[in-house]
Amino acid sequence: MSAPRQAGEAAAGAGPQGSARKSRPAWRIGHRLAVLALGLCILPLLLIGALALRLCFGAIDVTDPARRITASAASGPGPLHGLALQHVRLAWRDREVGILVDGIALASGSHADHVELALRPWPLLRRHVVLLQATVTGATLLLWRDRDGRIGLSRAQPGGAPDRTAIDLHALRTLRVRQSDVMLTDEASGTGCRAAIDDLALTPLRRPAATGAAGRLEASLSCGTSAAPGPTLRVHGSGREAPDGGIAWRVRTDPVVPAALASPALVGAFPVLGELGNVRLPVALALDSTLSGGFGAYMIPRAVHLTATLGAGTVLLPDKAQSDTVPIASGRLVLDVALPDDPSGPLRAGLSPSQLQLAGPDAPDLTLSGRGTLHGSSMRFGLVVDAPLLSFAGLQAYWPHAVAGGAQGWVTANITAGTARRFHLDLGMASEAGPDALRLDRLRGGVEAEGMVVHWLRPVPPLHDLDGRLVFDGIDALHIVTQHGIEDVPGSGARNGGAIALGAASMRITGLSAPRQDAQIEASLSGGVADLMVLLANPRLRLLSRHPVPFTAPSGHFTGHLRLALPLLENVSADALKVQADARLTSLHLGDVAVGRDLDQADVTLTATQEGLSAQGDGLIGGMPSGMSYGTDFRAGPPGQHTETAHVTSHVSDAAMQQEGLDDAHRFSGEALLDVRYVHDRSGAARIALSLDLTQAGLETPLWRKQPGTPATASGVFGLQDQHLVSIESLHADGDQLALDGRAEVQQGHARTIVIDRFRLGRSRGSGRIVLPSPPGQPVTPLRLSLHGPVLDVLPYLSQAAPAEEPAAVRDGKGAVTAAPARAPVPDAAWQADLAFRKVLFSPTRGFDSVTLHAEAHGSVVSAARLRVAGPTPIAATLSPGQGGRSDMRRLRVHADDTGALLRAIGVVDTVEGGVLQLDGALGSAGEGLRLRATASIGPFTVHDAPLAARMARDLSVYGFLLGAPSRQLVVTRFEAPFVLTGDTLLLTDAHASNDALGATLRGPVHLARETLDLKGTIVPSYLFNALPGRLPGVGAVFSPEKGGGLLAATLTIKGPIDHPLLRVNPLALLAPGILRRLLFN
C-alpha cells in the first residue's frame, strides 16, 4: 500500500469508527474512474503509436475500413453517390499521412486510376483535412449542365449535396494531374466539351498578402458531338517566381480556327461562344501575365500581355444592317490589359501598334492601335487604324459596315476609283449600359487621295481625276476637299461630250449614321457654257430639266462657284434641294434670244438657286450692243405669278441693221434705243412689250423721212399663251410728223391682220389693214394691203435718190466706202394692194384727186393693176397679164382725157393744153429689170409759147401764110411716139408730131434719172404737101426716110437738161431732099 493511502487510512482510524466505514467505498469508486479515464486516453495513443510504428514498415491496406467509412456517402443522394473504391492504402511519409487510392469510381461515371494524397495527421482527429500534396493520374471527371445552367457531378442532382468535411488547402505544397480528362455535357444540346490534361503541375507560393501558384500545363480542349467532333485546341503554360516576388505565367495555344470551335450545338449551349464563329482564320495566342497581391487571399494578374498571331482567312463583322467579311492574309495583334488595384476600379486595355495584312491584289497593310476602359457597365474603347497606301476600288472589302457604317456606305458606293495615301482613322465607342448599348461616339482622321472618281449625285456623271483629302469630321460627317478635277458632260454637242474643270472644291456629307445622308457641296467650276447648260439640265438636279431656258445653241466660257445642299436620296423633291450657283459667262453665244436673233460676244453674270435663276450682262443681240437681265422663278405659286422676266435694251445702229440684213437699202442711219420687256406667268400667259426710241436715228421710208435729233418713239405689246402668239396690241408710234395707232388680229398663233386705226407719215394721213400671208401648212394666200384716207404723199418716194449709170457710193464718217444705195428687196411672195385716197401728192403743191389703185403682184413683179384718177383730169390705167396669162409679158394701157392737164399736174410742162392720151404697150423683163415697149399717141392739143424755130417753120408754110398774123401758139393735130423704156432710159424710135402746116420727127434716149435729153430729129414745113411723097408705096422711104417725116426737112438736135434743153436746127438740110438728107446730115 502506498504511503498516501496509509496516511489516509491512519487519519480515518483516528476518527469515529462509523465514519471510516462509510467513506471507504466512495474512494474506491473515484479511484477506479480515474484509472479508467487514464486508460482511455493512453489507449488511442498506444494504438496510434502502434499504427505509426506499423506504417514505418510500409503501407497498410485499409480498403475495407474505407469502404465502411464511405458507405453512407456512396448510398446517399449527394455527388459521391455510388462511390466505389477498388484499393485503398494508408501510408506514413515524413510525418505525413498518405492515402493511396487505386481505382475510384462514381455512379455518374467519373473515375480515376490513381489518386495519391498527403495529409497532416492530427487534424484528421477533428474531421479537418489539411491537404499537403495531391496527385491524380488517369482521371476522368464527368460534369453535367442541366437546362437551367447548373453544373454538377450527378445528372439527377446537378451540384449535389455539400460535403460537411472541411478541406484546408492553405498547406498545399504541390498539385499534380496527369493523363486526365474533364468532360462537360450539356443536357439541352447534347454537346460535350473535353479538357484533356496531359500534365498539370502547380506549386503554391505563399506571400504575406496572398497566395499564388507556379508550375506548368500541357492540355487540349475540344468540343462537339459524337457525330461531329470538333477540332482540338492545344494549350501550353508555364509559371515561375518573378524577381519582384510575383509569379510570371506564360500561356500559349497552338493555331486553331475559332469558327471551327463554335459548332451550332455548342453555341446553342453557350451563346457567348457564338462570336467565335465570326473568326474564320487560324489564331495562335500567347498570354504573359505576372500574378501578385490580389483582392483576397489569392494572387491575381495585375497586367496581361496578350499576343494574337493571325493566319490567312476572313473575319465576319456582324451589324444590324448587314455583315461584312474582311479578308486577312496575316497579322499580329498585341494587347495589354491592366487590372485595377481595387475591385471597384476600372479595367484598362491598350492595343500596341499591331500589323494586319489584308488579303487581295490591292489590299493595304494596316497598323492598329487603341485603348479601352471597362468600369462596371460603363465601357469605352478607341481604335486607331493607319495605312500607308490603299485603293478606293477595293475599299468595300476592307472597310466593314459595322465601323462607321454610314461613312462606309457612302464612300464605298460613290468613290469608285483612286488611290489613298497616309490613311488615318481614329474611332471610339462607348456605352453606359453594357455591351448591348455600345455605340460609336468618335470618328476622326482622313486620307490623302489622288485620281479619285466620285459619284456626287447619281446618275449625274461622276467627277474624276480628283486630288484632295477626305476627312472624317465626327461620327456623322465626312469632308472631302479637292483642288482640281473634271466633270464629264456627255451629250453636250462635242464628239465625245464635253467637260467641266473643277477647281478648289469641298463636299461635306452629314448623317452618316442615320438612314438618310445629306450633302453640302461647294466647288469652283470653269468650262464651256454648253456643257454647263447640259449639266444644269440633268433631271437629277431638278433645275433646267423642269424649267428649260428659251435659248438654243449656247456656247462660250464660264467660271463660277457652286453651292449645293441636298439629301442623298434616289428621288429628291424640289423643296429638299438647295442650290446656289454663281457664274460669269464670257464670249457667250445664245441662239434665238429675241425675235429669232442671237446673242453674241456677251459677258453675263448668272445666279441660280432652287428658287430661281437670274442673269445680267451685255452683249450683241442681232449684232446690236445690248444690255440684258433675265430671271426665272422656280417656286410654286398662283396662276398669275411671274415665272420668267427679261429686260433687254439694245443700241440699234445702221451698221448692225445692215449686218443683220434689216436695212439693205440703207434707209436707217444713226442709232436707236430698243427696249424689250418680257413677262411670263405660271398660267402660261406671257407679255412682250417693245419700245423703240428713234430720237438719235435717221429714217427714210417711202412716205416719210426723219432726221437724227428729232424725237420719235414706237412701241407695241405682244401677248402669248403657252409660247403661242395670241395678241398684238397697243401698236403706237409718235414723233415729228409721225403718228400711228394700231393692233393685230391673231389666229392660231399667227398674226393674220394688222389693223392701222390711224397713221400720219409726213403729209400722209389715213388708216388701213394689212392681211398677212397664210402661215405654213395652210392654203397659200397673198399679203393684202389696204390703205385709205384723205392724203397720200408719194413725193418722198419719188424724190429718193436713184442710181444713175454708176451708183454713187455711200461713205461713212471717215470717208470710207461702205456700200452703194439700193432699193429694198421685195420678198418673193404674192401680195395685193388696194389704195383709196382723196388726194395723192407727188410734189410740194401738186397732186391727183380721188385716186384708187388695185395691184396684184408676186415679189417685185406686178402682174395686174387698175388705176383710176379723178383729177385734174380723168386717168385710167390697166395692167393685165399677157397672152396665156403670162406674167413676164404684160399689157399696159393708159388713157388720159387731157394730156395738157396731166403734164401740168405732174410739173413736166405747163404750155400744153388739151389732147387725149392713149398708151398701149407690152411690159416684160430685161435682165434684172423691166422693159416697156409701147406707143403713146395724143390727139389734137395746143402748145403755147411754142419754140421760135417751130413757129418760123409754120409761118413760112402756105398754111402759115393763110393764117395771117403770127401766133405764139402751135396746134398739134397728132402726136405718136413709139418708145422703149428700160430702167431709167426712155428710147424714142420714130416719134413724130404734125399738123397741116408743120411736122416733126424725134428719136434718141431720154435719161430719166439724170433728167437729160439726147434727141435727134427733123422739122418738116408745109407738112400736108411735103409728107405726100413719103406715103408712096414702095418708094416712100426714098422721099421721106424718117417715119412721119417729109421730102424737105430741116434737121434738129435737142440736148441737155429736160427743163432747159439746147435746141439746134440746121436749115441747110432743106437743100438735101429725101434720102440725101440722111446721107449728108445724119
Residue 878 pLDDT more than 80? yes
User: What pLDDT digit, counting tens, does each position of 837-876 carry?
Assistant: 999 998 888 899 999 999 998 887 888 999 999 989 999 9
- Give the pLDDT score at 955: 55
Task: Show me where the domains of the chain are located.
Answer: 464-636, 872-941, 945-1082
Query: Averaged over 748-766, what is the pLDDT?
Result: 91
Residue 787 pLDDT more than 90? yes
Q: 610: closest CA among 584, 632, 583, 642?
A: 632
Contact 631, 643 (CB under 8 A): no
Query: Averaged over 8-14, what is the pLDDT?
Result: 44
* Dihedral sign (CA 934, 940, 942, 943): positive
The alpha carbon of 68 is separated from its chain's Cα centroid by a whole number of angstroms, namely 95
User: What pLDDT digit, counting tens, does each position of 502-513 carry?
Assistant: 888 888 888 877
Length of the chain: 1082
Mean per-residue pLDDT over the chain, rounded = 80
Question: Three-state secondary structure along 47-66?
Answer: HHHHHHHHHCCCCEECHHHH
Contact 145, 269 (CB under 8 A): yes
Instruction: Report residue 820's pLDDT band, with 50, 70 and 90 as the boundaries.
Output: very low
pTM of the model: 0.61
- Give the pLDDT score at 43: 63
User: What pLDDT digit, counting tens, does each position of 291-320 carry?
Assistant: 876 666 677 888 899 999 999 998 887 665
Lowest-pLDDT range of 399-408, 504-513, 680-689, 708-717 = 399-408
Residue 492 per-residue DSSP state: S
What one-character-per-residue DSSP string does 81-150 give? TT-EEEEEEEEEETTEEEEEEEEEE-TTS-EEEEEEEEE-SGGGGGTEEEEEEEEEEEEEEEEEE-TTS-
Distance in angstroms (rounded) separating the CA atoms of residues 378 and 388: 34
Contact 900, 916 (CB under 8 A): no
- Give the pLDDT score at 821: 41
761 three-state secondary structure:
strand
Helix or strand (DSSP H, E) at 35: helix 17-55
List the helix and strand counts (H, then E) for the chain: 15, 60
Residue 17 pLDDT more than 50? no
Query: Averaged over 238-242, what is the pLDDT?
Result: 89
Helices 17-55 and 3-13: crossing angle in degrees, nearest 10, is 160
Instruction: Report residue 56's pLDDT band, with 50, 70 and 90 as the boundaries.
Output: low
Instruction: Report residue 6's pLDDT band, with 50, 70 and 90 as the boundaries.
Output: very low
What one-character-per-residue DSSP string does 648-683 give? EEEEEEHHHHHHTTS-TT--EEEEEEEEEEEEEETT
Q: 939: closest CA among 913, 965, 957?
A: 913
Query: Averaged over 452-471, what is the pLDDT?
Result: 84
- Give the pLDDT score at 814: 39
- Give the pLDDT score at 1025: 66
User: What pLDDT digit, counting tens, does each position of 150-193 carry?
Assistant: 877 756 555 444 455 557 777 888 999 999 999 888 777 777 88
What CATH fold (topology level) applies to the domain 872-941?
Nuclear Transport Factor 2; Chain: A, (3.10.450)
Hey, which residues does 292 pair with through a beta bridge? 300
User: What pLDDT digit, counting tens, does each position of 315-361 carry?
Assistant: 887 665 556 778 899 999 999 998 887 777 888 999 999 999 888 77
Q: 521: closest CA among 556, 557, 479, 487?
A: 479
Given phi > 0 = left and psi -120 to 50 = alpha, else beta, which region is 589? Answer: beta
Set of cell numbers at residue 40 = 482511455
Percentage with pLDDT > 70 across the chain = 78
Q: Around Cβ 147, how many Cβ atoms within 10 Å?
A: 10
Q: 648: closest CA among 611, 697, 608, 689?
A: 689
Most confident of 399-413, 460-474, 1028-1042: 460-474
- Give the pLDDT score at 14: 46
Distance in angstroms (rounded) separating the CA atoms of residues 675 and 460: 39
Distance in angstroms (rounded) separating the CA atoms of residues 384 and 515: 26
Phi, psi (5° rounding) for residue 888?
-90, -5
Question: At a CB cut-off of 8 Å and minimum separation 6, what does 586 contact?
Answer: 556, 557, 558, 602, 603
Question: Three-state secondary structure along 69-99?
Answer: HHHHHHHCCCCCCCCEEEEEEEEEECCEEEE
Distance in angstroms (rounded) separating the CA atoms of residues 35 and 24: 17
Residue 570 pLDDT more than 70? no
More confident of the two residues 1012 and 826: 1012
Distance in angstroms (rounded) separating the CA atoms of residues 941 and 200: 160
- Give the pLDDT score at 933: 92
Distance in angstroms (rounded) separating the CA atoms of residues 384 and 381: 10
